[in-house]
Structure 1
């Protein structure tokens, strides 16, 4: 059985210059730079990604 496709569908491309320390932090934590930046952007909007890769409010239920 295949995993359902994530809800996130990129509609715009943004090129961002990040310091090398950010890349090192991502490599150390095992997160991709894209996932780390998506997570930070979601937190700024009061959101987070749940286990099914859906955006939910920060204070919403955990799954």
Structure 2
């Protein structure tokens, strides 16, 4: 059974999009990274969520 991704539509200011474009980061990736950090997680080299350095497992 395929797991469906969680989808959330979010309005962001044009400055956020401009910053993403100027740094070459996709807005989706930036938001996913921020959400992960809020949860005490980060993406590893294999694009898997793992605990942030120094966070309890």
> Deviation at 1:12?
2.2
| TM-score of the pair, normalised by structure 1 | 0.75
| TM-score of the pair, normalised by structure 2 | 0.82
Q: Which of 19, 25, 30 is 1:25 aligned to?
A: 19
Q: Which has the higher relative contact order, 1 or 2, with Cα contacts under 8 A spaced 6 or more apart?
A: 1
Structure 2: which 5+ runs fail to align? none
Structure 1: which 5+ runs fail to align? 1-8
Tell me how many residue pairs correspond in the alignment.
52
> Deviation at 1:10?
5.3
User: For residues 41 and 29 of structure 1, do their structure 2 counterparts lie closer, same or farther at Cα, with a shift above 3 Å needed?
Assistant: same
